[in-house]
Amino acid sequence: MTPEPLRPTPPRDSIRTRAHSPRRSAGDRGFLLPPRIHRTSDPGLPPTDLSLLPPSGSLPVVGGGDSYSHPPPLSRLLSPQAQAAAVPASHLQVSPLLHCLVGQHILSVRQFTKEQMSHLFNVAHTLRLMVQKERSLDILKGRVMASMFYEVSTRTSSSFAAAMFRLGGSVVHFAEATSSSQKGESLSDSVQTMSCYADVLVLRHPTPGAVESASRQCRKPVINAGDGVGEHPTQALLDVFTIREELGTVNGMTITMVGDLKHGRTVHSLAKLLTQYRITLRYVAPQNLHMPPEICSYVASKGIKQEEFKSIEEALPDTDVLYMTRIQKERFASEEEYRACFGQFILTPHIMTRAKKKMVVMHPMPRVNEISAEVDTDPRAAYFRQAENGMYIRMALLATVLGR
């Protein structure tokens, strides 16, 4: 059999090659086009200032307004092919608008502008995608957080700890019951001591103003995790973030707060933070548990409309966000006073039939009996998604405060 003659090899220059992608530059693996807009709630807002966007591969940021850019695909952020152009996950770039928060105490919602919140929410949104894709993060590798809770906590303490661990850091726990507080050590001394071992302190205390007072004696950043009936800034941030994630915007919404509005630090901080948006606030509370006058005065000074109702049913039809809270037994002087207020407002599936189909039910938790367990299966029940969002917001806040 005669062997088949070999075919001549065509010149190398004649081999067809794939044309360059219009989204890439020749010789560069970075993408040229800016991130697409993911969600826009205010079409009339000025366009995003692209000069504020970080380099390719770092977390995207946005300008003012109630919208944020779509994060780059995780494959682009973390794939081996993109490592040359991307900023490593251990060196997260902080938006210029958040630089003023680096190394600072986080004590009150009044510290945040609307633009800063928008950037922080964008970071939280991107970190959520990375966590959900099971990407490992070493942003805070080698950093230590001290968790100091003088009041009991489930969600706040656990979400802060989980946030630190997911960012590659570690946590030192301080328990009042087993600490030198039992020997008479002052809060100031305990905080200064823990600052020797940690890079950031998360502090909760039952006395209003105690966290701010302790922060004056601390050389490391202190984050307020709740000070009695005072403020709870990180809860308010995650609440606004949840409203944006669930409904796409905060502007134009009617938000109804129900329950113990007198003692609820969550509603105090949330009401203050919401004044940066165009919203309407409605209050439903038992007698003697109304929103404090100083909070109402602050909200009114910002031009926000406030309304009071006697029942959930009366306020519900026009409500976009129903924010339920428990009656806080630990804040009452006697059992009789607590029992007089307990159980007046309970959300049930029957009451939910009067609500909008796209309404959102939120609750800072824990709940006692103010939301029936049967409501949990309603897709409008967002309180467990809200609790999860707390971890992402606290991840973004820890990364920002520690300058990573």
**Interval 106-131: pLDDT, tens:** 999 999 999 999 999 999 999 999 99
The verdict on whether 183 is a catalytic residue reads yes
Cis peptide before 34, with omega less than 30 degrees from 0?
no
The verdict on whether 155 is a catalytic residue reads yes
Q: Say which amino acid occupies 68.
A: Y
Tokens for 90?
Answer: 């251990």
Quick one: pLDDT at residue 392? 97
Per-residue pLDDT reduced to its tens digit, 160-186: 999 999 999 999 999 988 899 999 999
pTM: 0.77
d(CA 387, CA 242): 9
In whole angstroms, what separates CA 385 from the centre of its chain? 11
Quick one: pLDDT at residue 319? 98
Judged on CB neighbours under 10 Å (0-12, 13-18, 19+), 333 is exposed
Catalytic: which of 48, 126, 156, 256?
156
Quick one: pLDDT at residue 325? 94
Catalytic: which of 7, 23, 183, 357?
183
Instruction: Provide the Cα torsion 146, 151, 152, 156; round to 10°.
Output: -50
Q: Which three-class secondary structure state does DSSP give residue 126?
A: helix
Quick one: pLDDT at residue 2? 57
**Under-50 pLDDT residues of the chain:** 12-65, 67-87
Catalytic: which of 143, 232, 268, 394?
232
d(CA 354, CA 313): 7
Catalytic: which of 155, 278, 329, 331?
155
Quick one: pLDDT at residue 92? 57
The verdict on whether 216 is a catalytic residue reads no
Closest CA to 102 of 89, 120, 77, 127: 120
